[in-house]
Amino acid sequence: MSKKTSYLLGILITIIIGTLLYCYLCDDCYCNPNKEVETEETNIVAEPEVISATRNAFAISDADGDFNIKINDNFNFKTSNFSILEPISESVSAEVIKLKDYLLANPLKDVDITGYYRNDETNNSAFPNLGLARANAVKNYLVTQGVPSKQIDIHGELNDSINPDETNTLFGPLKFGMVTFEEGATDEALAAACDSIRKNPIVLYFKTGAAQINLTAEQRQKIADISRCVDKLGVKVQVVGHTDNTGNADQNMILGLGRADFAKQYLISNGILGDHIEATSKGQTQPIADNATEEGRTKNRRTEITIN
């Protein structure tokens, strides 16, 4: 081997050895077998889905007439609540006056109000569902503006597509319509419901100092029926307090009236107008069970809600 070849071979070997040493000693080199290769992980944080608040217009159209209104404002509510948020806009109030004038001029027409509610809302009303309670609240407002209650029909409907805003406000969770009846038409279902309440009134058992009244599903439906009987037939709600025969008869008459007044205030707080409710007491004079037993006395300490 010539000197020149040996020289070139030495240079090549030096380069190879130098390269190998560099790879093994360098922490950042991929050829270092002792170094764990770090894989860059990218954590993608999903942006929270922004759900826009539902805003239903205040819109009523009569397919059988020439009445038509539609504005962006409406009656608004907080979630799990059936009280209309104040103030009601002037534009809504102005359209309500137009509705009143139209209904007064057309006694065979009714405005149909459907209140919406979400499945995740809590129903703290006396009505079967929160939507019906909201529709009833709107009905009461219309009545204060001169709309005849007998020309208002209310309903409740589950609707999970309505979304509140970030302050838990629902904008117009309602649907409005107009219906026309034939002259002389009768509502047999309403008559049957009112008659059923007279025969089987709501019976409540509670302590005078109780903070609230817990109703069964059947009693909630009866409250809705009572409200409709009042609106459509003009009947009065009769709330009668009863006691057992323990103590003084005169004091029991006062005690019974206190229980009746408590139930009356409960109905008023749930949207049945106080002008339609009469609270009275029978004291211990009308027992339905034997006062000689504790069980009988418990049954006699009751408040009955019916209609005349």
**pLDDT by residue for the chain (308 residues), tens digit each?**
566 666 666 666 666 666 665 555 555 555 555 555 455 555 666 666 678 999 999 999 999 999 999 999 999 999 999 999 999 999 999 999 999 999 999 999 999 999 999 999 999 999 999 999 999 999 999 999 999 999 999 999 999 999 999 999 999 999 999 999 999 888 899 999 999 999 999 999 966 556 668 899 999 999 999 999 999 999 999 999 999 999 999 999 999 999 999 999 999 999 998 999 999 999 999 999 999 999 999 999 999 999 99
Nearby residues of 53 by Cβ (< 8 Å), 6 or more positions away: 163, 164, 165, 166, 169, 171
| Homologous superfamily of 58-180 | OmpA-like domain (3.30.1330.60)
Residue 54: predicted pLDDT: 97
Extended strands (E) in 84-127: 109-117
Strands 237-242 and 277-283: parallel
Domains 58-180 and 188-307 share a fold: yes
Nearby residues of 174 by Cβ (< 8 Å), 6 or more positions away: 56, 58, 74, 75, 113, 114, 115, 116, 134, 135, 138
Residue 43: predicted pLDDT: 66
155 in Cβ contact with 81 (< 8 Å)? no
Extended strands (E) in the chain: 58-61, 68-71, 76-78, 109-117, 152-158, 169-171, 174-180, 202-204, 237-242, 277-283, 303-307
| Collapsed DSSP state (helix, strand, coil) of residue 11 | helix
Residue 175: predicted pLDDT: 98
Boundaries of every domain in the chain: 58-180, 188-307
Residue 190: predicted pLDDT: 93
Cα–Cα dist 253/259, whole Å: 10
Residue 184: predicted pLDDT: 85
Number of helices (H), then strands (E), belonging to the chain: the values are 7, 11
CA atoms lying within 13 Å on the CB side of residue 246: 12
Residue 32: predicted pLDDT: 54
Cα–Cα dist 185/85, whole Å: 36
Residue 10: predicted pLDDT: 62
For domain 188-307, say whether CATH 3.30.1330.60 is its number.
yes
